[in-house]
Each structure stands twice: as C-alpha cells, then as structure tokens.
C-alpha cells in the first residue's frame, strides 16, 4: 500500500495537469472521477476502488460513474490493467485501473 505522501503526490500531479492544460475542457463528471481515482492511486498510479465506492465519493449514480470511466479510458487517462479480479471465495471484486495522466489523446496531439 502506498504512503499518504505518495498518494497525495499522485493526486497533486493529476490536479496540476487538469489545471494547467487543455484538459479544462473535460466534462466535470470525468474530472471528478479522475481526481477521485487519483486519490486512491498508489505511487505507480494503480487503484482498485469499486464502482459503488467511486459513485458514492463522487456523488454520482453508478451508471454515470461507469460512463465517466469509459470516457476517461477512451481518452487515454486510465486503463483497466487487471480485469476479472476475484475474491478468495470466487466472488468478483473491483477492477484494477492504472492512471496514465499526460498520455491522453488531447496531450499526445498537442491540443
């Protein structure tokens, strides 16, 4: 598990990228979900929050949270790095997502 300093560092980096780039045109729900993911990320950008957890922390419905995640994935801000994670009893658990700030399509195109 990442230290609080490492987690804070990742959240600060994402926040600065969002404030200092063309990402300010990103829809508010996507920015909110991205910042919330960053708050859960370890020093490598990996995080495991469930959809219900993200939705609750963002104040969004689960469907709107899923929609924002799909949009972030499509824009290159994050990707599902380990789907199909399971608990010891065989039940499904949350996906592992890896944040990739600065590699999104808008950044790569220099927009």
**In terms of Cα–Cα distance, which of 38, 76, 77 is closest to 57?**
38
- pLDDT at 22 (0 to 100): 60
Integer Cα distance of 95 and 72 in angstroms: 15
Residue 20 DSSP label: S
Residue 23 DSSP label: G
pLDDT in tens, 29-64: 998 999 899 888 888 888 989 999 999 999 999 999
> Contact, 57 vs 36, CB < 8 A?
yes
């Amino acid at each position: 598990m990442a230290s609080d300093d490492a987690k804070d560092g990742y959240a600060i980096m994402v926040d600065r990228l969002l404030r200092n780039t063309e990402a300010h045109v990103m829809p508010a729900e996507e920015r909110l979900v991205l910042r919330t993911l960053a708050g859960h990320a370890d020093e490598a950008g990996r995080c495991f929050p469930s959809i219900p957890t993200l939705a609750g922390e963002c104040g969004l419905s689960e469907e709107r949270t899923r929609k924002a995640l799909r949009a972030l994935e499509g824009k290159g801000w994050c990707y599902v790095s380990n789907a199909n994670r399971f608990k010891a009893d065989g039940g499904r658990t949350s996906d592992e997502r890896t944040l990739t700030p600065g590699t999104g399509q808008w950044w790569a195109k220099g927009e």
